[in-house]
Amino acid sequence: MSIKIGIAGYGNLGRGVECAIKQNPDMELAAVFTRRNPESVQILTEGVPVCRIEDAGEWKDRIDVMILCGGSATDLPQQTPALAKMFNVIDSFDTHAKIPEHYANVDAAAKEGGKVSIISVGWDPGMFSLNRLYANAILPDGKDYTFWGKGVSQGHSDAVRRVEGVKDARQYTIPVESSLEAVREGKNPELTTREKHTRECFVVLEEGADAAKVEEEIKNMPNYFSDYDTTVHFISEEELQKNHSGIPHGGFVLRSGKTGWNGENSHLIEYSLKLDSNPEFTSSVLAAYARAAYRLSCEGVSGCRTVFDIAPAYLSEKSGEELRKMML
């Protein structure tokens, strides 16, 4: 008996979840839900229906876990609590500052419905958060560092696209290698925003746009670029398509800490990701946590959880016995 998964929202993330389900033999895709006209949505899996998100309620007894693939800005704050009453749900809510509020809303809804919700699943928040927690618990006397990249920042790419004269753009966030090395060497540097990351923009100009003015405006944009060393490259639309159409990302979580009676020994814990496709990796994490939600629900658990609350064994298809034998 496989776990029946519903996908709510069919963009890059939803498609990624569909691919992840194909890789997990204990899961099957039951239905995809969309706000668009279902007939206009072409999915990859044969024989699986695409339905209107408004009709999700009709699937209450035919879906074990609904994976929400909307955006954190406006979709998830509404959708997760609404669907959490009817389904076990997983989301990738990533507005760090609003997690406590989102958690409270989803928890109330999930308890009302007697269902399990797991929020903020992915890699940051998600796997990076887990690594921060483990490393802090092990090395209480230490210092945390998170570097992102090299990867495409959707938010920063959008910001560049809003500059007058810009037709299209892609922005890469890049960790400063020398700072990363200083952390690895146990130097515990205090790093400014500028010392942690650089930003690189590939920009396609509108015809007749003033390149110098565009570059100036990008580099001085508050919040997004003014605190960073930013490089701007002007390229053709063809070049952007050819060399910058992927959505790679990744990053590093490090903790350097001391042990010993007088803190005489140093240690470095480092976790890193190098991802060809940010949404597909996030989707793969979502799928693993869907398995956990299903199992917890079978045990009678209800309410909201995060990656911090889920014992790792729940993520694996293998039994406890197999895990102890093969992976411990």
Q: Which stretches of the chain bind a second copy, using CB under 8 A?
A: 16, 18-20, 22-24, 44, 96, 99-100, 103, 120, 125, 127, 129-134, 136-141, 184, 259-261, 265-277, 280-281, 283-285, 288, 291, 306-313, 315-317, 320-321, 323-325, 327-328
Q: Which is nearer to a second copy, 134 or 234 (CB)?
A: 134
CA distance 220 to 235: 20
Residue among 201 and 273 whose Cβ is closer to a second copy: 273
Distance CA 327, CA 322 (A): 8
CA distance 237 to 98: 37
Q: Which is nearer to a second copy, 26 or 58 (CB)?
A: 26
Q: How far is the CB of 150 from a second copy (least distance, A)?
A: 13
Residue 46 C-beta: closest distance to a second copy, Å: 12
Minimum CB–partner distance for residue 27 and a second copy (Å): 10
Instruction: Give the pairing of strands 88-90 and 65-68.
Output: parallel
Element (H, E) at 196: helix 193-196
Q: Using CA atoms, how far apart are residues 30 and 11, in angstroms rounded to an integer?
A: 17
- Comparing CB distances to a second copy, the nearer of 197 and 291 is 291
**204, 166 contact by CB (below 8 A):** yes
The nearest distance, CB 142 to a second copy, in angstroms, is 10
Cβ of residue 284: shortest distance to a second copy, in angstroms?
A: 5
Whole-angstrom Cα distance, residue 9 to residue 47?
18
Nearest CA among 184, 165, 187, 163 for reference residue 175: 184
Q: Minimal distance in Å, beta carbon 268 to a second copy?
A: 4
Measured from the CB atom, is 16 or 113 closer to a second copy? 16
Q: Identify which of residues 57 and 312 has a Cβ nearer to a second copy in the complex.
A: 312
Are the CB atoms for 54 and 73 separated by under 8 Å?
no
Q: Give which of 72, 31, 73 is closest to 53, Cα–Cα.
A: 31
